[in-house]
Structure 1
Amino acid sequence: MSIAGVRRAVRESVSGLPREFWWLWTSTLVNRLGAFVATFMALYLTLERGYSASYAGLVAALHGLGGVVSSLGGGVMADRLGRRPTLLIAQTSTALSVALLGFMHHPVAIAAVAFLVGMTSNASRPAVQAMMADIVRPEDRVRAFALNYWAINLGFAISAAAAGLIAEYSYLAGFLGEAALTLTCAVVVFAKLPESRPQRGTDAAGAHEPETRLGTVLRDGRYMGVVCLSFLISLVFMQGSVGLPVAMGLAGFSPSDYGLVIAVNGVLIVALQIPVTRFIEHRDPQQLLVLSALLAGYGFGLTAFAGSLGVYALTVCVWTLAEIINSPTQMGLVVRLSPVHGRGRYQGMYTMSWSVAALVAPLMAGYTIDRFGAGWLWGSCAAIGTVAAAGYWLLMRGLREPRTESGAKAPADSAPAPAPADA
């Protein structure tokens, strides 16, 4: 492709999205540039503080548990308080708790603040996803979610490299740096992003639309099916960071070998997310989700036959392609099944599926490898991927095209009305 062709492709990929989306995208990128705690927490506790690996694992689990707790809470806040207040509260609280964590020394204090960091940092995710659905037209949402996912991975790739250099100088500087960048996100939200929560209207009979509650989400069978399938896919994808390094270590490979292999994941996402999204944007989501589940399951399943770095890297290529396809497509499905005035709660339930998987995946990997061997773990991934693919196929049969955002006659690209101040 010529330079002019590349420029045209990039222009088509980013054109037509509202200005508010790009400020939200910028906030996401800045936030991920400061991902120090998620990257180096275990090394900080074991090397800098001298704690055991078991204690480091406990702290990581508490951090994840905080995310599970706040997933639903953040979703409820996004619906009741609004997207913008939720983001401001979550990001400011995250900045303060991350800075505080850098000064903690007692093991109980570290564990408690780590739980707080996990809770505050995860609370913003339902609000970000709900706001993105509010401000982007339905036909552009897959592309918007893909661009946001691209920003997450680009920011994390840069932060991982920078955090390594910062850690050699001072771990405290890393904590304070993440706090400063998270606070910058709050400033961006405060200065540039208006509230996007749609105004609650009335139905055809003139009655106020019923409020969406958590019980409403739980009773939505098709949507809870998506949540369960998201949990299964998350269990598979997370083996790249919990099962793969352990299996490679048992096979005689060094940490640097694992670093080279897993770097393929980030490089491919940054390089391919936008062009692949342009290819899949208007294709059948049922077929895309079935394909991504099979690629994820059998991509990890092929790891059982890996004996060299090249083969390990090849398996990473397979499941990374699944990740690139699955993330924006599934997010589009989540928004499609969510009622306009309940997006926060629906997004919170979806976020919780990933948070719970983050707790279960390490236990699954450790137990399976210790009791049966790594080959059984990779075989289990293939089986889970197959079950998820069948689930997506069954779940999406007969799923009709969504109505307009208002549920009536309003055009799809109409701007959401601001929420009333007393809502």
Structure 2
Amino acid sequence: MPRTVWLLVGARAINRLGAFSLPFLTVLISTEFGASATTAGALSAAFGLATIPSRLAGGRLAVRLGRRRTMVLGLTGCALAQLGIAAAGSLAAVALFAVLLGLAFELYEPPSQGMIADAVGSADRVRAYGLMNTALAIGGTGAGLIAAGLGRWDLRWLFVVDALTCLVCALVLHLVLPADHLRPKAPLAPGGRRDGASPWRDRALCAMFGAGTVFALVTMQIMIALPLSLDRRGLQPADAGLLFTASALTVVAAQPALHLRRLAVLPDSVALALGYVLMALGLAGYAVAHTLPAFTAATVLWSLGDVPLLGRALGVVAELAPPGAADRYLAAYGVSWGVATVAAPVTSTQALEHAGVAALWTATAALCLALAAAQLVIVEPLIRRTRPPRAVRPAHPPEAGGRISRT
């Protein structure tokens, strides 16, 4: 992998080490300020709503301001907002800083993903994004343990430590990444429209966006509803940190499996559908779990499904983008996380309140099975019409000196 990819991966791992506060935002609102589950869900949804313009702004600022500046700006803004949440003395103050956090939260993603897309060839993009996913998982192993410890002491400290890692990550990126050189505007396509200026006109991207939104909804429901589910099953909500650590360790341990030839040569949509099915099986386990070991086993299972998903999906989106439009395509696709972050606090808290733990996770598992079917029947035909056939990647791409990559 090029040096730029490794720098982004290292900085992201540092940031991920402290990125454990979001799953506990609803818990903080409920326990520290006595808010109802409905109010806590609404405030978390306000945070998610703010991430939608944040993601789109990240794609535009990457072009106009520069990728490095945009990433540093986003991380610094996240740190200041999280410190505000930690110091807030009223529910109104928490709501204000939660919205400000959302406005800064997604600025980082489009420029970092676009930088990776430009740094490697199309055949290596899945590996590069998979490497980023591994770094997030490695950072997540420590993040879950810190969350489990600090969460038992004072939930506010979760936001303080998260803010500090954002600042460290911003400093590292500012010092090690090359200075920004603003890129020229994309050339005009026939008809006077700039190539890549309107990714929403790409039907294949819209299909990936729909599937990505459902996947993001499932992921956000896990983050938000898992601590609350543990509490309703008579366990410590902070034990969700241990489960998130188990998930991260599973993702790291499973990375070598991605280089097995039978998995490496799978078409993208088949690999994505397989991941969704494994997630469904694990989430169904949450519906019947009543002990921490049972929750852990279910976590390991759905985490195995998560392994092939992120790298494959981002790789497909990057390949759909015309030259020079990767930032905007990835930003448009990433809006799915903003939509899910709005919906998940409401859907998860309402489902827990009115239907219970078992019904929430059963419905979420069914959603994953539906997503697997849609990927093969609806999304894949649209991708095939838009994207030219791609040569099969070797299962073990050789590196310099003949050594085999383990990432």
**TM-score of the aligned structures, taking structure 1 as reference length:** 0.78
Cα distance between partner residues in 1 of 2:258 and 2:352: 35
Please name the residue that 1:131 is paired with: 115
Amino acid at match of 2:279: A
What is the CA distance between 1:203 and its match in structure 2? Answer: 8.1
In the alignment, which of 190, 198, 202 is matched to residue 220 of structure 1?
202
**Does the C-alpha gap of structure 1 residues 107 and 281 become closer, same or farther in structure 2, counting only changes over 3 Å?**
same
Q: Does 1:155 align with 2:139?
A: yes
Which deviates further from its counterpart, 106-115 or 348-357?
Answer: 106-115
Q: Does 1:278 align with 2:262?
A: no
Amino acid at match of 1:276: A
Amino acid at match of 2:328: R
Which deviates further from its counterpart, 224-233 or 97-106?
Answer: 97-106
Please name the residue that 2:248 is paired with: 266
Q: Does 1:188 align with 2:172?
A: yes
Q: Does 1:288 align with 2:258?
A: no
In the alignment, which of 45, 53, 69 is matched to residue 53 of structure 2?
69
Cα distance between partner residues in 1 of 2:104 and 2:116: 20
Do 2:228 and 2:237's aligned partners in 1 also have CA atoms closer than 8 Å? no
Cα distance between partner residues in 2 of 1:271 and 1:224: 33
**Does the C-alpha gap of structure 1 residues 221 and 176 become closer, same or farther in structure 2, counting only changes over 3 Å?**
same
**Does the C-alpha gap of structure 1 residues 176 and 297 become closer, same or farther in structure 2, counting only changes over 3 Å?**
closer
Amino acid at match of 1:223: L
What is the CA distance between 1:258 and its match in structure 2? Answer: 5.3
Do 1:84 and 1:193's aligned partners in 2 also have CA atoms closer than 8 Å? yes
Cα distance between partner residues in 2 of 1:258 and 1:296: 17
Cα distance between partner residues in 2 of 1:168 and 1:390: 41
**Does the C-alpha gap of structure 1 residues 396 and 80 become closer, same or farther in structure 2, counting only changes over 3 Å?**
farther
Q: Percent identity?
A: 28
What is the CA distance between 1:260 and its match in structure 2? Answer: 4.9
Do 1:240 and 1:262's aligned partners in 2 also have CA atoms closer than 8 Å? no
Cα distance between partner residues in 2 of 1:282 and 1:198: 35
Please name the residue that 2:360 is paired with: 377
In the alignment, which of 87, 97, 105 is matched to residue 113 of structure 1?
97
Please name the residue that 2:331 is paired with: 348
Cα distance between partner residues in 2 of 1:369 and 1:342: 41
Cα distance between partner residues in 1 of 2:144 and 2:351: 29
Larger Rg, first or second structure (1 or 2): 1
What is the CA distance between 1:288 and its match in structure 2? Answer: 0.2
**Does the C-alpha gap of structure 1 residues 162 and 317 become closer, same or farther in structure 2, counting only changes over 3 Å?**
closer
Cα distance between partner residues in 2 of 1:319 and 1:212: 35
| 1:124-158 deviation line (CA, Å, top 9, x unaligned) | 11111111111122222111111111212222331
| 1:146-188 deviation line (CA, Å, top 9, x unaligned) | 1111212222331343355556777776555443432332222
Q: CA RMSD in A?
A: 3.3
Cα distance between partner residues in 1 of 2:8 and 2:363: 38
Amino acid at match of 1:388: L
Which deviates further from its counterpart, 96-105 or 112-121?
Answer: 96-105
Q: Aligned to 1:355, what secondary structure does the other structure show? A: helix
Cα distance between partner residues in 2 of 1:306 and 1:259: 17
Cα distance between partner residues in 2 of 1:403 and 1:78: 28
Q: Aligned to 1:340, what secondary structure does the other structure show? A: coil
Cα distance between partner residues in 2 of 1:204 and 1:247: 52
**Does the C-alpha gap of structure 1 residues 46 and 304 become closer, same or farther in structure 2, counting only changes over 3 Å?**
closer
Cα distance between partner residues in 1 of 2:122 and 2:47: 34
Q: Aligned to 2:325, what secondary structure does the other structure show? A: helix
What is the CA distance between 1:96 and its match in structure 2? Answer: 3.1
What is the CA distance between 1:197 and its match in structure 2? Answer: 7.0
Please name the residue that 1:4 is paired with: none
In the alignment, which of 220, 231, 247 is matched to residue 213 of structure 2?
231
**Does the C-alpha gap of structure 1 residues 43 and 239 become closer, same or farther in structure 2, counting only changes over 3 Å?**
closer
**Does the C-alpha gap of structure 1 residues 275 and 136 become closer, same or farther in structure 2, counting only changes over 3 Å?**
same
Cα distance between partner residues in 2 of 1:366 and 1:173: 24
Q: Aligned to 1:242, what secondary structure does the other structure show? A: helix
Which deviates further from its counterpart, 77-86 or 159-168?
Answer: 159-168
**Does the C-alpha gap of structure 1 residues 340 and 84 become closer, same or farther in structure 2, counting only changes over 3 Å?**
farther
**Does the C-alpha gap of structure 1 residues 112 and 306 become closer, same or farther in structure 2, counting only changes over 3 Å?**
closer
What is the CA distance between 1:90 and its match in structure 2? Answer: 1.6
Q: Does 1:241 align with 2:223?
A: yes
What is the CA distance between 1:120 and its match in structure 2? Answer: 0.7
| 1:166-221 deviation line (CA, Å, top 9, x unaligned) | 5677777655544343233222222222247765565899x9982433xx222211
Please name the residue that 1:60 is paired with: 44
What is the CA distance between 1:46 and its match in structure 2? Answer: 5.2
Cα distance between partner residues in 2 of 1:383 and 1:349: 26
Cα distance between partner residues in 1 of 2:175 and 2:63: 21
Cα distance between partner residues in 1 of 2:242 and 2:174: 39
Amino acid at match of 1:98: Q
**Does the C-alpha gap of structure 1 residues 203 and 75 become closer, same or farther in structure 2, counting only changes over 3 Å?**
closer
Q: Does 1:88 align with 2:72?
A: yes
**Does the C-alpha gap of structure 1 residues 94 and 256 become closer, same or farther in structure 2, counting only changes over 3 Å?**
closer
Which deviates further from its counterpart, 280-289 or 18-27?
Answer: 280-289
Q: Does 1:329 align with 2:302?
A: no
Q: Aligned to 1:35, what secondary structure does the other structure show? A: coil
